Structure 1
Amino acid sequence: MEIDAGGGPVPPRDLPDLLGRLVRQDPDAVVALDKGPDGATVPVSRTELERRVAALTGELRKAGVGPGDCVAVWLPNWSDALVWQFAAAAVSAHVVGINTRYNVTEVAHVLARARPELVALAHDFHGLDLLRRLREAVDQASSPAPAVVLVPGPGRERPAAEEIAASDVGRGAWTPDPDAAPGDPAVPDPQALAVAFTTSGSTGMPKLAAHRAAGVLSHAVADAAALGIAPGEHVLCALPLSGTFGHTLAMAALAAGGVCVLEPVFDADAVLDDMAVHSVTHVACGDDLMARLAEAWRARPRDLSSWRWWGAADFQGRARELAQWAAEAFGTTTCGVYGSSELFALTAAWPPDEPAPGRWAGGGRLVSRAIEVRVVDPATGKVLPHGQEGELQFRGPNVVDSYLGDAEAAGRAFTGDGWFRSGDLGRLTADDAFVYVVRMGDALRLRGFLVDPAEIEQRLAEHPDVRTAKVVGVPGPDGATAAVGFVVAVDGQEPDPAELRRWCARTLAGFKVPAAVQVIGAMPTTNGPNGVKIRADVLREWAVRSMDQSESRPSRQ
């Protein structure tokens, strides 16, 4: 942190200024550790990152990308994703991350809502044909085709001219030149949108929650302090940078002067090796990923004595068990955290001196005094006192500024007096601290991603042989939440459950495809004050019974 004439800290004025300060403090310090195609570590210095950002900034200006424009970043956890974030912010544009698992329909939805000028596309990554998916998505999307920028990734050769030409989906294609001239410097607008994250909406397709650059920057600085990341410490970046959890942690590491240990593919053994070799101090992830790390460590222990802090999201109810394991094995302090695409991840975290096991619960103390939280009765809107459960609502610089392609969504998301409706149930323990209880809706946590079951239900119902569909979540054989679909067939039809799963896989990401589908004669229902409703509790019982019986192909109930 730079100091003013009075001896006080001067916060960075914008994202490029944050990077510039890191370079001025120690130009040769490592800022990120990439993975080459052979798995070897590729260190990235602060100076190199700044040079690549300057070069890409010049190329974006040359391509006509400027204030208010959107850039889609379809990359794994490479330092290139950081380069694109900083370069877009430098020209007052914003990025929207696309998960490498996304399928055609999901990508088409992002293209239609965000209307990006170009798509930064991972070239030859992990055997994924992202270009094919993009072509099909462009055909589906009701928006102009974007330019394509092929990004080779760390330690890889630039694509050949014919590969670049073949990547054109209607608006040209090129590949970044790390030696491109930076062009004339410009002062970015900190009030311009900088990043948007996909999040499940009531329609079953993702909303795109966008945040201003000033919010990204202030939240990164606040998280760096709240998490206690020291300069030079290594932070594990295993969650996708395209999502708010991974993005927020990486930005906090940069704001602290730390090192991002980037994992483009989650392989538990490789991640543990990196944690040991690079003396990782901070990890933030759900208990689903941590359970995989614990299992791999028990099979082959490593020295993880440097691991000081785990920011835990209790997606599967295993945080307590894993927190005890980490504490006993390495002396690691586990702190429950809270956040969302609309609020940034790590909006709150319990301090390390908070007693366990309360410290392991979701929620925590707000990371910034600029953020406010209250709890209200969801039926009446009455503000509730400490200790009473209600909807968590927030105000502050971390709160979503707009939804790309959906001007009316913000109106639905905010109260009349300007508080964001989180849709989460919780209770205050202090004016700036709260306990998260549960999601008020029926969202499913699949492979660490929050998924609206309506999205899967919508796809099942699109099958010509299906009349009605309902999806519930139950514990699968590995303890993770599994989506189980129930469908009522069109009269006279008998759809094959395996075919229905294949039907879903054609347009949905793999983690959204139901683990099982059952064809039933009729949905169990109940007559409520608002009409007839399907009894999800009964379907969950049926799904659990089916899982317990380990039926490979569920039969008709």
Structure 2
Amino acid sequence: MSANALSLQSLIRTEAAADPAFVSDGTPISRAKFAEKIEQTAAWLAAQGIGRGDVVAVWLVNRIEWLALLFAAARCGAIIAAVNTRYRSAEVAHLLKLSGARLMVVEAAFRSADFAAILADIAKDEVPALQRLAVVGADAIPAHWPCVRFDAFDTPYPPAPTQDDVDLPVLLYTTSGTTKGPKLVAHSQRTLATHASSVARALKLDPQRHALLAMLPFCGTFGMTSLLGFVAAGATVHVLDAFEAAPALEVLSTRGITHVFGSDEMFRRILALTDAPRPFPHLEVCGFAAFQPGWRELATEAEARGLPLFGLYGSSEVQALFSIARASDSFADRIEGGGWPMSSEATVRVRDTETGELAAPGVSGEIEISAPSHFLGYFNNPDATRDAFTADGFFRTGDIGRLRGDGSFVYETRAGDAMRLGGFLVAPGEIEDELKSCIGVADAQVVAVDLKGQARCVAFVIPAKEPPMQETLIARLRERLAGYKVPARIYVVEAFPVTDSANGVKIQRARLREMAMERIAAEGLAQR
């Protein structure tokens, strides 16, 4: 395969492709027009002094400018650092400093988001590499840095030279983050384009029959990977600038959409807006990530209403849609995270976290992956990159799962969330599901704590109506679960602590562990 066949540009094929390539804000954009916009944007980047190895931070909602910048950067040998539109000043400053971005392309304004106010909280000396801002939709915004207008589409610039190296970094995603701030995950044109083609093949996408609703943000791998897969297939992509349930419902119901990807909460909000028994006549695959309690109940309701949910797996490091369930799987298996790798060249194995040996099918352990889709490394962080891989080149995912033995696998939980209780590795979801089956419990979360030198689990529950009695719940669980899985404490709360990510709202399990220890400590003080 030639280097050109591994470039992002190679994905914009025209033979047998559907037109338009995109429908954005109701405006159709043909493949030829999109290719023209890429050329214009590459020329604009060159005119800004951006070339090989330079980093451009992109802080935009879903719009054609975002995609044109990515494809144009690939042409110039530059690197795009994707900035989450939900970020605030500390997070934006961390990304700008870590990436060394020279230029930031930013929204003038979007709904209630005040990008200028957020930037005003960042001191120039915090991000010394940043030289200027390029504003989409205005000539300038109030800022510490000089501003230029992003005028690539309406101002002619001299053509830019083309770089051919498909193995250079071209896109930086942020990880979900730690107390030290998120790392930057670097991907090349080769990793992006190869995986996009694998997605198109694995999903058997037909450009004349299939269409995608892109409602996930492009700044995250979930939104970008699903979009690139449909670009590679030559299918039409309908773009929402940012997710809102009502516009998503309208597009899903009226535009012949066959595929959509999102979080469980997104699909829950869409379903809540319609009473129609089967409002989505064309939907074939709805790939979903389960971030919230109650996702199994959601999947059951969605199935009955013609919104077929498919479990999947991915990460910034191996890209989203690394794997997905198949239509031939049983419903119970289809809605589990994990599934079948998109690439025939991918290998998934599981390592027993206790013995360090590879685990047999059915035994839970850390998932390790070797695949063409995996990242180049953590940008400017060789130590973290080295630690992320095994000696034989498998990526250590930090996720717990098990092999099924038929070529598929099951994602169970993050390694930091898995609990070793009574000498056994236990996924919180097992106990949470039992709690949610109890009268009076709407939602539940379970975390592990050290209690008098012994690993025990603690549960937090949101009541349905009247708060359930802890003694009643514990008695019920003792009837249903092994003793080591029964929570030492069950606390009633009004809501779980959450955080926003590029792909949806996630529960802060680390904060739940802190809350559990705080409450247990308070009990000890009260008894003195």
Shorter-chain TM-score above 0.5 = yes
Contact 1:74/1:100 (CA < 8 Å) preserved in 2? yes
Equivalent runs, 1:223-372 vs 2, <5 Å: 223-232=199-208, 233-298=210-275, 303-330=279-306, 332-372=307-347
Match of 1:111 in 2: 96
Residue equivalent to 1:178: 153
Is it true that 1:127 corresponds to 2:102 in the alignment? no
Please give the per-residue CA displacement for 1:153-201, whole angstroms capped at 9, x wherever unaligned.
xxxxxx3xxx43x556435523223142461552431101121111134
Structure-1 residue corresponding to 2:74: 89
SS in 1 for 2:387: helix
Tell me the secondary structure at the aligned position of residue 305 of structure 2: helix
Report SS of the residue matched to 1:12: helix
Equivalences for residues 206-221 of structure 1 within 5 A: 206-221=182-197
State the TM-score, normalized to the length of structure 2: 0.77
Letter in 1 for 2:280: L
Residues 311 and 338, structure 2, Cα contact 8 Å, conserved in 1: yes
Q: 2:349 & 2:355 partners in 1: Cα distance?
A: 14
Write out aligned runs for 1:34-73 (5 A): 34-35=24-25, 41-73=26-58
Change (3 A) 1:128 1:307: same
Deviation at 1:536, TM superposition (A): 5.9
Letter in 1 for 2:117: R
Deviation at 1:246, TM superposition (A): 0.7
Structure 1 residue 539: Cα displacement: 5.4
The answer on whether the counterparts of 1:145 and 1:169 sit within 8 Å (CA) in structure 2 is no
Q: 1:31 aligned to 2:21?
A: yes
Structure-1 separation of matches of 2:298 and 2:181: 33
Give the conservation status (yes or no) of the 8 Å contact 2:52–2:77.
yes
For the residues of structure 1 that align with 2:371 and 2:128, how far apart are their CA atoms?
33
Q: 1:43 to 1:102 in 2, by over 3 A?
A: same
In the alignment, structure 2 segments of 5+ residues that lack a partner are 419-427, 430-457, 466-496, 523-528
Displacement of 1:244 after TM fit? Answer: 0.8
* 1:428-467 matches, cutoff 5 A: 428-430=403-405, 432-442=407-417
Q: Is the 8 A contact 2:169 2:186 kept in 1?
A: yes
Instruction: Give the distance between the partners of 1:478 and 1:48, measured in 2 at CA.
Output: 53
Q: What code does the residue aligned with 1:276 have?
A: S
Distance in 2 (alpha carbons) for counterparts of 1:74 and 1:422: 27
Task: State the alpha-carbon separation in 2 of the partners of residues 112 and 95 from structure 1.
Answer: 14
1:514 deviation in Å? 8.6
1:189 aligns to what?
Answer: 165
Deviation at 1:424, TM superposition (A): 0.6
- Note the alpha carbon deviations across 1:408-437, whole angstroms, 9 max, x for none: 211221222222111111111137421111
For 1:322-374, what per-residue CA distance to the aligned partner results, in whole angstroms no more than 9, with x for missing partners? 333333222x4332100111111110111111121111100011110222211
Please tell me whether the aligned partners of residues 104 and 130 of structure 2 are also in contact (alpha carbons under 8 angstroms). Answer: no
Aligned partner of 1:102: which letter? Y
CA contact (8 A) 2:47 2:157 kept: no
CA distance in 2, matches of 1:219, 1:343: 9
Residue 414 (structure 1) aligned with residue 407 (structure 2): no
Mapped partners of 2:144, 2:218: distance in 1: 25
Asked whether the 8 Å contact 1:112–1:405 carries over to 2, the reply is no
CA contact (8 A) 2:46 2:160 kept: no
Q: Which of 386, 389, 394 does residue 369 from structure 2 map onto?
A: 394
How far 1:25 moved relative to its partner?
Answer: 5.0
Residue identity opposite 1:390 in structure 2: G
- Is there any run of 5+ residues in structure 1 with no aligned partner, and where? 36-40, 153-158, 446-471, 480-500, 519-533, 544-557
Deviations 1:30-56 (A, max 9, x none): 111212xxxxx1222112211111100
Q: Quickly say closer, same or farther: Cα 1:341–1:288, change in 2 above 3 A.
A: same
Q: What SS class does the counterpart of residue 73 from structure 1 fall into?
A: strand
Q: How many angstroms does 1:513 deviate by?
A: 11
- Kindly indicate whether the alpha-carbon contact (under 8 Å) linking 1:248 and 1:345 is maintained by their aligned counterparts in 2: yes
Q: Which amino acid aligns with 2:254?
A: V
Report the secondary structure of 1:101's partner residue.
coil
- Classify 1:10/1:352 alpha carbon distance in 2 versus 1 (closer, same or farther; 3 Å): farther
1:12 and 2:5 are equivalent in the alignment: yes
Report the RMSD for the aligned CA atoms in angstroms.
3.4
CA distance, structure 2, for counterparts of residue 142 and residue 178 of structure 1: 29
Aligned length: 448
Secondary structure of the residue aligned to 2:213 is strand
- Amino acid aligned to 2:21: V
Mapped partners of 2:463, 2:77: distance in 1: 47
* Distance (Å, rounded) in 2 between the aligned partners of 1:11 and 1:333: 37
Q: What is the aligned-residue identity percentage? A: 31
Aligned partners of 1:45 and 1:473: how far apart in 2? 52
Amino acid at match of 2:206: A
Residues 1:256 and 1:536: Cα distance change in structure 2 (over 3 Å): same
SS in 2 for 1:365: strand
Counterparts of 1:176 and 1:346 in 2: how far apart (Å)? 34
Q: Deviations over 1:372-393 (max 9, x none)?
A: 2111122442111222111001
| 1:139 positional shift | 3.4
In structure 2, give the amino acid aligned to 1:170: W
